[in-house]
Chains A and B, each alone.
Chain A
Amino acid sequence: MMKRTLIVLAALLAFAADPAQAQISDGMVKIGVMNDQSGLYADLAGLGSGIAARMAVEDFGAAAKGMKVEVVAADHQNKADVGSAIARQWYDVDKVDLIVDVPNSGVALAVSQITRDKAKAFIVSSAATSDLTGKACSPNTIHWTYDTWALANGTGNAIVKTGGESWFFITADYAFGHALERDTEAVVLKNGGKVLGKVRHPLSTQDFSSFLLQAQASKAKVIGLANAGADTTNAIKQGAEFGIVKGGQNFAGLLVFLTDVHALGLEKAQGLLFTETFYWDMNDKTRAFAKRFAERNRGIHPTMIHAGVYAGVLHYLKAVDALKSDDGTKVIAKMKQMPTDDPLFGKGTIRADGRKVHPAYLIEVKKPSESKYAWDYYKIRATIQADQAFRPIDQGGCPLVKK
């Protein structure tokens, strides 16, 4: 009796199943948004990334195309072991097909390795280390939004050329900080500048006083902050306490997000010069996105991370739809084949090493008097064309790149 019921059920399912779903694992495309939801990187990505991913799924029209897509989220607390455990659980048990976002380069590297072992897909929007498309590149990973090389190239070049020839680095002591310091130092030296000293601080430091003192003592013209999120804003705030800028030195925020400027306030952040690849107020399409995003995110406008998650998920879904499969390795290969086109980054391409290429922008923070409306923070000082914004493909040491 049981056996007959089962056979009937199986037959019914076979008829009911949409032939298009036949190769999508478990009939569902599951996307996992993993990032820091409670620590120092919670604002620049955090819950907003989940919102961006869902918006991408809606705008893609998954439902209309008959594709089932689910978005889940998790907090990796900036720990590689927590991130690894979540990735394994997601891939092994929860049938997640794509992991997206992942700030914290240490965690991203770990997740990239696990994704490769399990032949799934990984789109990095938040993590910065250029190693993800360099010596740690993988056929299952795409690095969207930005990387440390692009930041160093944009910001480093601009600052040295306008008189900042002596540098002192305050660096977050992990993969990201090291990569950013390394890439920026290379740019400074190439332009004839000098690095007078470096100091490393633990991730998520509350008190920068002793590091700032060392920076002051070095008398370097530029204090390069090779850190991000709350580390950057704390350093700048406490720098004001110790009269760093009054004493004639300048901070170079090597990685600054819209949410950091918002947290600092224009009074403290004005004049900061840095590189980003997206700003919500650039054109009508980005403004429309920002309006919809802000409505769902308590008025907080999107950072380039959120834009990267949106665009990355959109392109992924297009590739899955074209292939009619969510096999990780195949989809990533397809994403590299298809040129990209989205309302936020415009037209672009993804290289063989997994690097998404698009223009970068040199940004200066407005003075309080120059800001006319909420979140009107940036002036775009220069545009770096896509083919110059990122490290040349043959210089990264990526084994996937054929010589």
Chain B
Amino acid sequence: MAGLGEQVDAAVAMEPTAAAHHQAAAFTVMLVSLVLAPFFVYPLFLMKALCFGLFACAFGLLIGYVGLLSFGHAVFLGSAGYISAHAAKVWGWPPELAILAGTAAAAALGVVIGALAIRSKGIYFANITLAFAQMVYFFCLQAPFTHGEDGIQAVPRGMFLGVLDLRDTLTMYFVVLAIFLAGFLAIYRVIHSPFGQVLKAIRENEPRAVSLGYAAERYKLLAFVLSGTLAGLAGGTKAIVFQLASLTDVHWTMSGEVVLMTLLGGLGTVFGPVVGAFIMITLEHYLAQLGAWVTIVQGLIFVVCVLTFRRGVVGALAQLIKKPL
């Protein structure tokens, strides 16, 4: 039974140095377009795409390279958002500390959920993450500091590192871009490190990895926590950008959305989740006027991708040029 993400690797020959060249080229293209974009496209829209891009990359790390489908990843996005919003608004922390607080909260949550969930595999892992996600959702609904349905509103943007006034949209954009790139490069580093290789080995054949002496569970837990932490970074940043933390970000449908973004972009690819996120955010933006059509289109993309396009956009591209992306 072909597992998630495996088929992408199988289809693309692994040539380390050539791969590195192509990926460097792709990275440069991405960097240049993102630097120039805010001068042509509404920056707030781009920032949303970047935050979701980071979120999707973090999720993609877990599903593509560790083979674990977490159906509750929104908890990291949302709870980090709440903590960051609260830190910035109520405690008056500067944005960089607020975002760090959110990220740390997500990391802590990752350790707790991971420790309890990591022993399960496949469907059961998805179930457990969903259960914990619901618990966190209802906690967020009830806890007074989140203000339930209203969310935490009017979160101040503040001065980043005391120097950069984030109320200026362009400044905010470049800060977000920097955060995104930092997260992206962190994930890249993890994937292409010995640690990443062990993760792939565990995904392909866990018993064998264990027999070779690797403490599989600890590796998986670490990957899970890392994935959650970076998702938290995305969530904390998003709360500062939009000056709002709401229940939408912890709801299980948000978990479904990030699965869709990653699937559409390409499971097991480096750039796939980013591309998937950008496509989905663009679609949502243009279809927003048509209300429910957003959901319909999302569902159709899911169906089409699962049936005929499992490689995703970037995966198909990688297949075309015979290099991993």
Residues on A close to B: CB < 8 A? 37-38, 74-75, 77, 79-82, 84-86, 88-89, 92-93, 105-106, 109-110, 113, 173-175, 202-203
Q: Report the Cα distance A85→B238, complex, angstroms.
A: 13
Interface pair B150/A174, CB less than 8 Å apart: yes
Selected from B147, B151, B289, B292, the residue in CB contact (under 8 A) with A81 is B151
Stretch from B189-197, B200-208, B240-248 at the A interface: B240-248
Q: A175's closest neighbor in chain B, by CB?
A: B150
Are A106 and B150 in contact (CB-based, < 8 A)?
yes
Please give me the residue from chain A that is nearest to B151 by CB atom: A80
The answer to whether A79 and B246 have CB atoms under 8 Å apart is yes
- Contact of B291 (CB < 8 Å), options: A37, A80, A92, A175: A37
Q: A88-B44, A175-B150 are in contact. Are A80 and B246 (CB under 8 A)?
A: yes
Q: How far is the CB of A19 from chain B (nearest CB, A)?
A: 32
> Do residues B42 and A93 form an inter-chain contact, with CB atoms below 8 A?
yes
Known contacts: A81-B242, A81-B244, A110-B244. The answer to whether A92 contacts B44 by CB under 8 A is yes
Query: B169 → chain A, closest Cβ, in Å?
Result: 8
**B282 at interface by CB-CB < 8 Å:** no
Using Cβ atoms and an 8 Å threshold, which residues of chain A touch B291? 37-38, 75, 77
Candidates B151, B154, B243, B249; contact of A106 at CB < 8 Å: B151
Bound state CA distance, A175 and B146, in angstroms? Answer: 12
Interface of chain A: mostly helix, strand, loop or mixed: helix
Given A81-B246, A105-B150, 7 further pairs, Cβ under 8 A: A80-B150, A84-B242, A89-B44, A93-B42, A106-B150, A109-B150, A110-B244
Whether, in the assembled complex, B38 has its beta carbon less than 8 Å from a beta carbon of chain A, the answer is no
Shortest A395–chain B CB gap in Å is 23
16 cross-chain CB contacts under 8 A: A37-B291, A80-B149, A80-B153, A80-B246, A81-B151, A92-B44, A93-B42, A106-B149, A106-B150, A106-B151, A110-B151, A173-B148, A174-B149, A175-B149, A202-B141, A203-B149
Report the bound CA distance from A86 to B42 in whole Å.
13
Q: Quick one: closest A residue to B153, CB to CB?
A: A110
Query: Closest CB of chain A to B300's CB: distance in Å?
Result: 20
Which 6 A-B pairs rank lowest in CB-CB distance, beginning with the nearest? A106-B150, A174-B149, A81-B246, A113-B154, A175-B150, A110-B153
Are B292 and A80 in contact (CB-based, < 8 A)? no
Min Cβ gap B296→A in Å is 13
Are the C-beta atoms of A89 and B151 separated by less than 8 Å?
no
Residues of B within 8 A of A (CB): 42, 44, 141, 147-151, 153-154, 242-244, 246, 248-249, 288-289, 291-292
Tally of A-B Cβ pairs under 8 angstroms: 59
Q: Is the CB of A174 within 8 A of B42?
A: no
Instruction: Report the nearest A residue to B292, measured CB to CB.
Output: A38
Which residues on B sit within 8 Å (CB–CB) of A86? 288
Q: How far apart are B51's CB and chain A's nearest CB, in angstroms?
A: 12
Q: Specify which chain A residues have a CB less than 8 angstroms from the CB of B248 in the assembled complex.
A: 79, 81-82
A82 to B147, CA, bound (A): 17
B99 to chain A, nearest CB (A): 18
B237 vs chain A, min Cβ distance (A): 15
Asked whether, in the complex, the Cβ of B246 is within 8 Å of the Cβ of A74, the reply is no
Asked if B153 contacts A113 (CB within 8 A), the reply is yes
The interface residues of chain B lying within 8 Å CB-to-CB of A105 are 150
Bound complex: CA A74 to CA B246 (Å): 20
Q: Which residue of A lies closest to B150 (CB)?
A: A106
A74 CB contact (under 8 Å) in B147, B148, B154, B289 = B289
Which residues of the partner chain B approach A175 to less than 8 Å between Cβ atoms?
147, 149-150
B148 touches A80 (CB 8 A): no
Instruction: Flag if B153 contacts A92 (CB, 8 Å).
Output: no
- For B157, the closest partner residue in chain A by CB is A117
Minimal beta-carbon separation of B198 from chain A (angstroms) = 39
Q: How many angstroms from the CA of A202 to the CA of B149 in the assembled complex?
A: 8
Assembled-state Cα–Cα distance A59/B151 (Å): 39
Q: Which of A75, A77, A81 has the most CB of B within 10 A?
A: A81
Question: Which of A85, A88, A173 lies at the interface centre, i.e. has the most chain B CB atoms within 10 A of its CB?
Answer: A85
Provide the residues of chain B in CB contact with A174, threshold 8 Å: 148-150
Which chain B residues lie closer than 8 Å to A93 at the CB level? 42
Q: Give A88's nearest chain B residue, CB to CB.
A: B44
| Complex alpha-carbon distance, A74 and B141, angstroms | 26
Question: Which residues in A have their C-beta under 8 angstroms from that of B154?
Answer: 110, 113
When distances are taken between beta carbons in the complex, the residues of chain A under 8 Å from B243 are 84
Q: In whole angstroms, what is the CA distance A56 to B325 when docked? A: 57
Q: How far is the CA of A48 from the CA of B283 in the complex (A)?
A: 28
> Which residues of chain B have C-beta atoms less than 8 A from A113's C-beta?
153-154
Closest to B246 in A: A81
Chain B nearest CB from A360 CB (Å) reads 26
In the complex, chain A residues whose CB is within 8 Å of the CB of B244? 80-81, 84, 110
Interface contact B149-A173, CB-CB below 8 Å: yes
C-alpha spacing A174/B144, complex, angstroms: 11
Contacts of B141 in A (CB 8 A): 202
When distances are taken between beta carbons in the complex, the residues of chain A under 8 Å from B44 are 88-89, 92
**A77 contact set on B, CB distance < 8 A:** 291
How far apart are the CA atoms of A155 and B151 in the complex, in Å? 29
Measured between beta carbons, the chain B residues less than 8 angstroms from A92 are: 42, 44
Q: Nearest residue in A to B248 (C-beta to C-beta)?
A: A81
Please give, as numbers and ranges, the residues of chain A lying within 8 Å of B288 by CB-CB distance: 74, 86
**Which of B149, B151, B243 is the most central at the interface, judged by chain A CB atoms within 10 Å of its CB?**
B149
Which residues on B sit within 8 Å (CB–CB) of A82?
248
B249: which A residues are within 8 A, CB to CB? 81
In the bound assembly, the distance between CA atoms of A89 and B292 in angstroms comes to 19
Instruction: Given A38-B291, A38-B292, A79-B248, decide whether A109 and B148 contact each other with a Cβ distance below 8 A.
Output: no
Min CB distance, A42 to chain B, in Å?
Answer: 11
Contacts of A74 in B (CB 8 A): 288-289
Smallest CB-CB separation from A129: which chain B residue? Answer: B150
**Which residues of chain B come closer than 8 Å to A79, judged between CB atoms?**
246, 248
The smallest C-beta distance from A290 to any residue of chain B, in angstroms, reads 28
